[in-house]
Structures are given as structure tokens and as C-alpha cells.
Amino acid sequence: MNCQQFQEVLPYIIESGGNEEEEAHLRSCPACAELVQDLEYIAQQAKLILPMHEPSPRVWAGIEDSLHRQGLIQEGRLSLLGHVTIFPPQAKSWTPLGWLMALAAMAVFAVLLINYHPQLPSAPPSAQNMSAPAPSTAFEGDDQQLIVQVSQQAPDVRRAYEDSLREVNTYITDAQQAVDKDPADAIAQQHLLDAYQQKEMLYQMATSRALP
């Protein structure tokens, strides 16, 4: 049994345990063993978190849209509340690995979204300093989690995420201050929205990069 064959039956292995051949492959292949371990962990964490904090339908719609755009799912695969629709076996046109990856992506992304609270300064700095980059190089909370996620990647990739995260946080801070200064300023509001979209993109890309 090779890795591809093993991964095609992975959902069934996680659900009900594998047969001798599958277990033998699992023992002999560290990559698949690590994959199984990661997926079991994600599944456990998702179970713990999802019932406590059900995100709004908008969040699920965003995830679904993102998965559509990335070609990971097709129309009608997810309901608005994020529950996977069960299809009869004969309607299946997606591999079990595809399902599992989508579920894993949803779980990881949901954890990030649930815990995502932008850090805004309590006292805005002066207007002259509005566009100065944040001096702090340390990240907190979810941002730190994002950096941990990409830490397994090449050093320049990790650096790219760190720099971008720092810059987008500055963008959010600047735009938020502009909105606070003039709440009727539609351009400032648009900048704030764009800034959050930039940050969302970083989280989405980091999450997809962290998938096996």
C-alpha cells in the first residue's frame, strides 16, 4: 500500500480503525503517521470548540466561498451553518482525502476566526505617527498562532508572513483611527475593510499552507 492509497481511505481509518495492511503502512510511514496524528488532533479540538462558539452564518459562507474559490469543494457541499451535507455514496464525486482536507481546513480556519480579535490601541497616537510602522516585533494571540503555523516553512516564507502581518496590523490601526476621526468618511471605512481583507487573506493562506 502506498501513501496515496492509504490517504484515500484515511477518513474510514480515523473513524473506525484500519485493517492490517493499513496499520502496517501507518507503522512504516512516518509522514502518514504524522498526518493521522494531526488530523485526530484537529478533529478533537474542533469538537471541543465548535459547540461552544458557533460562528455566524456569514463566517461559514466566507469559508465556503474561500473553499469554492480554491476549488476544494463544489456547489452544495456545505450548508450555511457549516454542517457537512451527507451525500449517498453513489453521488460521491470527491475523494475522501478531499473531504478530510476540507474539514481540516474548516476546523483550523474556524478556530482562527473564532479567536480572532484585532488588537487596537486604546489611545491613538498622534496624526504624525499615523502611518509609522508598529515598533513591536512580537506578535500576540492569534497572530502568534499564525506565525507558529508557518514556522515549519522555509525561513523566507516565515519572514514574509511576519513582515506582512506587522504591516497589515499597522494598516488596520491607521484605518481605524481615520474612521474614528471621521466616521462619515467612506474612503476611510473602505480602507478599514480592505485592511481586514488583507489580514483575512494572510490567515487563509497560512492555514492552507499548514495543511498536509
Partner 1 sequence: MKVMNKLSFTAVAAVVATLGMLQAASADTRKETRLEITPGGTVNIVNNYGSVTLRGGSGRQVLVAYTLHSDKVEVDESTTSDKLRAEIRTHVLSDPKPTVEETRVEYEVTVPAGVAVNVSTATAPIVAEGLSGDLTLSSDTGQITVRSVARVHVHVRGVTAPVSLTSVSNGHVEITSSGGEVQLVDVWGPKVWVGTTSGNISYRGDCSGGGDYNLTTHSGVIEVTLPETASFDVSARSVSGSVQNDFPLKDKPHSFYPSKAGSSFSGTSNSGSSSVELQSFSGRIRVKKQPSAAATPK
* Binding residues vs partner 1 (CB under 8 A): 3-4, 30-31, 34, 69-72, 93-95, 127, 130-131, 152-154, 156-157, 160-161, 163-164, 167-168, 170-171, 174-175, 178, 186-188, 190-191, 194-195, 197-198, 201-202, 205, 208-209
Nearer to partner 1, 145 or 170 (CB): 170
61 vs 200: CA distance, rounded Å: 14
Instruction: Indicate the burial class of 140 (C-beta count within 10 angstroms; 0-12, 13-18, 19 or more).
Output: exposed
Instruction: Name which of 30 and 88 has its Cβ closer to partner 1.
Output: 30
**Cβ-based nearer residue to partner 1, 50 or 130:** 130
User: What is the Cβ-side half-sphere exposure of residue 29, based on CA atoms within 13 angstroms?
Assistant: 19
- The candidate with the shortest Cα–Cα distance to 112, out of 194, 191, 211, 40, is 211
Q: Which position has the grid cell 490601541?
A: 121
CB 211 to partner 1: min, Å: 9
The cell numbers describing 51, all together, are 459547540
Q: Report in angstroms how near the CB of residue 29 gets to partner 1 at its nearest.
A: 8
Least distance (Å) from partner 1 to the CB of residue 154?
Answer: 5
Closer of 4 and 16 to partner 1 (Cβ): 4
Cβ-based nearer residue to partner 1, 37 or 81: 37
Contacts of 167 (CB under 8 A, 6+ apart): 133
* Cβ at position 47, least distance to partner 1 in Å: 27
Instruction: Give, rounded to a whole angstrom, the gap between the first and last alpha carbons of the chain.
Output: 19
Closest separation in Å from C-beta 52 to partner 1? 31
- Give whichever of 133 and 141 is closer to partner 1, judged by the CB atom: 133
Return all residues near 103 (Cβ < 8 A) that are at least 6 apart.
43, 46, 84
Q: 78 φ, ψ to 5°?
A: -125, 145
Neighbouring-strand partners of residue 78: 84
